[in-house]
Amino acid sequence: MTQDELKQAVARAALDYVVEGRIIGVGTGSTANFFIDELGKIRDRIKGAVASSEATATRLRSHGITVFDLNDIDAMPVYIDGADEINHQGAMIKGGGGALTREKIVASVADRFVCIADGSKLVDVLGTFPLPVEVIPMAVQSVSKYLSAMGAMPVLRMKDGQPYMTDNACHIIDASGMRITEPAAMESKINDIPGVVSVGLFAIRGASVCLLGTSTGVRRLEF
Ligand code: 5RP
């Protein structure tokens, strides 16, 4: 099976976690996009969705799914999203697609986080994938110095020759070379650096469930 076929398989399996008549939180990225396409097929069975990015909102609307503002929502049973890496405890690195802050906000309102990923995303120790850190533009240099002092190699993410701009008009520093053995402690430490909007570590609140696409089928990990 190709990586896309594995992503499609977990996207389909995630429909089992959709609660009828409710609003669902939806992530960002290629796996989330496959999930949105599946969700479109059952759109009459949900009330609508909250999107973790402008791109996700556009795709949801293209399927006729009503997109709600998070400020109008009190509770959500489930948030479904991909990950760049996930460990055996359900801690994740996210933000490869640049939507980490909104993803963390929407996920924080949901009762359960269902991670959908192809099998290559499961790791013993987080950090092979460069850790995304969203920062206020004026803090790129100062935050980079903090990250270097922590042993990371920080690189400002670029797009079309310009610093990458998030939906929140901020930039992203990708911090490579980190071996993250204590993800929750690292999440707090980086979040505390002045100028950091949020770090793409989802460990203090990790996944509740991970649906992992493998060549022998969808594996379900519960945390
Ligand atoms: C976007 C994310 C994505 O969930 C992550 O990058 C995984 O993406 P994909 O499903 O394309 O592999 O965190 O900000």
| Digit-coded pLDDT (tens) for 200-220 | 999 999 999 999 999 999 999
What b/e readout covers 80-114, taking b as 16+ CB neighbours within 10 angstroms? bbbbbbbbeebbbbbbbbbbbbbbbebbeebebbb
| Digit-coded pLDDT (tens) for 80-117 | 999 999 999 999 999 999 999 999 999 999 999 999 99
User: Would you say the pTM of this structure is higher than 0.85?
Assistant: yes
Mutate to test the pocket of ligand 1, among 31, 37, 54 (most ligand atoms within 8 A of CB): 31
What tokens were used for 166? Answer: 């998030």
- Torsion sign, CA atoms 6, 12, 14, 16: negative
Give the Å distance between the CA of 67 and the centre of ligand 1. Answer: 20
**What's residue 134's pLDDT?**
99
Is residue 85 annotated as part of the catalytic site, yes or no? no
Mutate to test the pocket of ligand 1, among 94, 165, 170 (most ligand atoms within 8 A of CB): 94
Catalytic residue selected from 85, 103, 134, 187: 103
- For residues 157 and 186, give the distance between their C-alpha atoms in angstroms, rounded to a whole number: 21
pLDDT bin (cut points 50, 70, 90) of residue 166 is very high
Give the Å distance between the CA of 22 and the centre of ligand 1. Answer: 24
